[in-house]
Each structure stands twice: as C-alpha cells, then as structure tokens.
C-alpha cells in the first residue's frame, strides 16, 4: 500500500480576510492521517467562481482526493455548488433526496419555513452523490474525487464521517516525537547525520516556544514501528551528546 | 487607489499533517488589511523543493506581493532559501551583513556557538534584500515581490514590521458587521435583495454557533464609510423585518 495523496480546498473570503481562523484544514489532515492518506497541498480561495473552478480542476487532476469546505449555504455568496458543476462541465439540479429530507426537517422543527433560499441547499451538480449531514440535514456532495463539505467545523466533521467508507485507506503513517529545550542550531548537525543513517525515516525539526523557553521537537515518520523506535532512540542519544535532556512526547500520528 | 492583491504561501509538512495549527495566514491577512492590501489566495505546500518553486513562481507572477512563512531555520529540512534561489534562477550565498550579525549574536549571548548549521541561516539568494528579525537576528529576505519569513509566529510578526515601509498601501477596506441569532436561511432572501440595492458594497454572510445557538454575521465591506453606514442600517432593518434582533458588533477591518 502506498500513502495516498489528498488536497484541501478552503473556500471563503472570511478566511482570506483573517476574519475567521480556519481549523478545518488541520482537522481534515489529522483525520485523513488516521486512514493513511496524506495531505500534500492546501489552498484557500475567495468566493469567486473562476477561482474555485480553476483550483478544483487543478487539484482534482493531481491528487487522489480533494476535500473542500465552505460556500454551500443558502445565501447569495454561497456559490460552491455552481462552481463545482462548472468545473466538471455538468448541469445542476435540486437533488430529490436532499429536497425531501430538507422538507421533512423544516416541517418538523420550529426552525422556520422551507423557503427559496433554503431550497438552494438541495442544489447539487448532476451525477453527484450526497454527503449526509447528521447535524443539520443540508447535505454536502461528492463529484468525481472531490468531496464538497460545509465550512462550519461541527457540520464539516459530521460530513467527514459519512465520507469515510468511500475512501481507500493507505499505509498508516506513524511517528515518534522527541523534544528538547535546545534551539534547532544545537542539534541540526546531529540531526542531519541521523537523517543519513535513517534514509527511510523522514526526520522533521519543528521549533517551538513554551513558557518563554525555546525548544525543538524532532519527529520521525514512517510505517515501520521498529525503525521508528530505533530512530527515536538515536535521536535521544544525539540530544544527550549535545548536552540536552530529551523529553519523550506521546507518539502521535502526524 | 486600488485594493492591491497579495498571496500567502505557507511552507511546511507540519501544517499539512495537522501537527501544527497555522495562525500566520490570518495574522498576515489582518495586518495587510490595515494597509489596504487584500489577500486573494493562500497555499500550503510541503518541504519539497519542486513544490515550493512551482507555487512561488505562480503566485509571484499573479499577485502584487507574496508572503511566505517557514523553512528558513538551520536544519536539513529548511529548504526555503534554496527553493527561492531556484524559483528565480539565481545563485545563493552567505549574506555578509546577515553573517556578521549572527556572529555578533552568538558571540554575545550564552546561546551556543555559531556552528555550520546556524551559518546556514545567513544564506540568501543573490540580490535578495534582508528582512530584519528583531527577535532572534536570523533574517528573512525579499526577492522580487516575495517576502520570505520565519514560521514561528512571534518571529514572523517581527519581520512583518520590517517589511511595512516596502509595501505600497492601497485603499483601506472598512467593514460593518451586524449579527443575529437566526439561521442564514431566514435572512438569505432579504440579504440578496439588499445586495442588489447596494451593488457597490459586497455583503457577506457567515454562519456561526455560539453558546449552542446558531447565528449569522452579515458583513458589509468597502471604502465609503457613508455607504457602509447606510448598508448596516439597511441590514438591521431587514433583520427586524424577519423577526430578528440585530446585534451590532464592533466595526472591524476584515
């Protein structure tokens, strides 16, 4: 099994203006990591059809999967569904299942009428498969290898669960993290030497500051748990050699 | 004056894996917004030279400015400087000023020796102008319209201050925000009508959930304060017409 590649496309002026902090990218990346699918690239574009179309065509052609967030609500600036239809050169319609489910939702709760604006949320490109929204009904959809989801994190996360069985899992990437309160410059030479010793285990170096102290987290990634253990042990040894005290952090999938 | 366009390029596997939450994009976007420069697109790529080169060439050609974060530290996976040299087809060297400043830094503090790894932080493409780092000395650099900065937020923010005088400010975009605890579907029709009434004032609709209640923030953007005030008043009126209570939120630059 190979580690498959995905891209994330965030759609929305509110992210590009800095008004809203995107957290969906990190969530999707960690969630996909658990399935052995790596995110290779992420893009954020504004609510302009030509921008969305160009980005999704490029990413869809290049990666196994594309995950988009945002722009599928009921307001005039929600243009993702139309943009996806355009990107794949298909028409767009009110999906009968989505429409029926939304009718039922608005008939039952005290949440207003199923007006024209809300009906827009049932519009999906021809041939698209719905992505269920267990939280607020209005669906996402899949068109080819592109999964079109909501921007609100809780709704997006619910949609991901519906997407899970459609994905082909890859080899799960594990990792070991060893941190130390030393600057990167103290360990860079030893780290480069270890990278040569472990060419099959990519080693990353991530500076951090915590409680006013600078430190570095060294992360070894791979599929072979024994090699990861060996690399982590070698990292700890190297850190001690330059006078540091290695801090083991919980092994996390990254 | 026009609202100028910028792109942000985030470089680093740790962002794409979800290990680290990017906050630089939002910070840069808000900071540029204060100068009347809008971010049109953001991309995140991994620590692979060909990916960095392709992205920076595309973005540099397309936008007035490009701001990159990450990959300029001392370790073997810090390849941004080399990638920029490659992207612009120039060589790379140890910048004499940067080298001298780093020598002074490591001579003075109790922060270790100016070893080979740390010397790497003085390497910049030929012809690049340094970006000062008032926090930890190791500089960023400007090459053509691309500003190459550190990934650590505090350092990146310090570098931005050094970049400020090099930017041509645009017409500052102001905004008014009116929020309401109603779903987007209740106000979408009225909002679309208002957008036709105010074609010169882009109106955005951003759903939120707060304390378990769903709501919507409506944002009017533009340069004309009088038009913004008129649009905000019209938004409040429209919200009352559909039975909502408009919540004024502080006018923020977005």
What burial letters (b/e) apply to A108-126, b meaning 16+ CB within 10 Å? eeeeeebeebbbbbbbbbe
- The partner residue sitting opposite A191, judged by closest CB among B18, B76, B184, is B76
pLDDT tens for each residue of B115-161:
999 999 999 999 999 999 999 899 999 999 999 999 999 999 999 99
pLDDT reading at B253 higher than 70: no
Report the pLDDT value the prediction gives residue A118, as an integer from 0 to 100: 93
Instruction: Determine the pLDDT at residue B90.
Output: 98
Q: Residue B254 — very low, low, confident or very high, per pLDDT cuts 50/70/90?
A: very low
Residue ranges of B 90-149 with Cβ closer than 8 A to chain A? 111-112, 115-118, 120-121
Residue A252 pLDDT class (50, 70, 90 cuts)? very low
Query: Residue range B25-49: average pLDDT?
Result: 96
pTM (2 d.p.): 0.92
Q: Is A212 exposed, middle or buried (0-12, 13-18, 19+ CB in 10 A)?
A: exposed
Return the H-helix or E-strand segment holding B78: none
Establish if A14 touches chain B: CB-CB under 8 angstroms: yes
**Span of A17-31, A77-91, B99-113, B131-145 with lowest mean pLDDT:** B99-113
Residues of chain B with CATH 3.40.980.10: 4-166
**Is residue A210 within 8 angstroms of chain B, CB to CB?**
no
Looking at chain A, which residues constitute the CATH 3.30.70.600 domain(s)?
A: 174-249
Contact map slice: A 77-96 vs B, CB within 8 A: 77-78
Residue from A4, A75, A197 whose CB has the most chain B CBs within 10 Å, to mutate: A75
- Euclidean distance between CA atoms A19 and A13, whole angstroms: 9
User: SS3 string of A106-127?
Assistant: HHHCCCCCCCHHHHHHHEEECC
Distance between A117 CA and the closest CA of chain B, angstroms: 6
Give yes or no for a contact between A166 and A189, defined as CB atoms under 8 angstroms apart: no
Q: How confident is the model at residue B3 (pLDDT cuts 50, 70, 90)?
A: low
User: Which token pair is A62?
Assistant: 């290049």
Whether the predicted pLDDT of B2 surpasses 70: no
Phi and psi angles of residue B130, each rounded to the nearest 5 degrees, phi first: -70, 150
- The pLDDT-based confidence of A136 (bands split at 50, 70, 90) is confident
> What are the tens digits of pLDDT across the range B236-251?
999 999 999 999 765 4
pLDDT tier at A1 (50, 70, 90 boundaries)? very low
Contacts of A52 in chain B (CB under 8 A): none
Q: Cβ of B157 under 8 Å from any chain A Cβ? A: no
* CATH number assigned to the domain covering A174-249: 3.30.70.600
Residue A29: pLDDT above 90?
yes
Give me the percent of chain A exceeding a pLDDT of 90. 84
Percent pLDDT > 90 in chain B is 84
pLDDT tens-place string over residues A54-80: 999 999 999 999 999 999 999 999 999
Among residues 186-205 of chain B, which lie with CB inside 8 Å of chain A?
186-189, 191-192, 195, 203-205
Q: What is the CATH number of domain B4-166?
A: 3.40.980.10
d(CA A243, CA A222): 27
């Amino acid at each position: 099994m190979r580690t498959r590649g995905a891209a994330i496309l965030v759609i929305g002026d509110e992210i590009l203006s800095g008004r809203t902090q995107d957290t969906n990218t990190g969530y999707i990346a960690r969630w996909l990591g658990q399935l052995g699918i790596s995110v290779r690239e992420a893009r954020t574009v504004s609510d302009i059809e030509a921008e969305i179309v160009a980005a999704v065509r490029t990413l869809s052609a290049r990666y196994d999967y594309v995950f988009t967030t945002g722009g599928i609500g009921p307001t005039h600036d929600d243009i993702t569904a139309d943009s996806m239809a355009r990107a794949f050169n298909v028409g767009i319609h009110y999906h009968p299942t989505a429409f029926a489910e939304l009718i039922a939702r608005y008939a039952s709760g005290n949440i207003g009428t199923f007006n024209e604006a809300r009906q827009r949320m049932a519009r999906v490109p021809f041939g698209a498969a719905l992505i269920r929204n267990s939280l607020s009904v209005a669906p996402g959809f899949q068109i080819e290898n592109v999964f079109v989801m909501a921007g609100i994190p809780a709704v997006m996360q619910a949609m991901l669960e519906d997407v899970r069985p459609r994905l082909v899992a890859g080899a799960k990437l594990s990792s070991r993290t060893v941190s130390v309160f030393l600057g990167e410059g103290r360990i860079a030479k030893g780290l480069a030497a270890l990278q040569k010793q472990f060419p099959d285990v990519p080693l990353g170096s991530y500076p951090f500051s915590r409680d006013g102290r600078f430190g570095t987290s060294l992360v070894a990634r791979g599929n072979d748990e024994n090699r990861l253990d060996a690399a982590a042990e070698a990292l700890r040894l190297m850190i001690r050699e330059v006078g540091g005290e290695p801090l083991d952090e919980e092994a996390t999938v990254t």
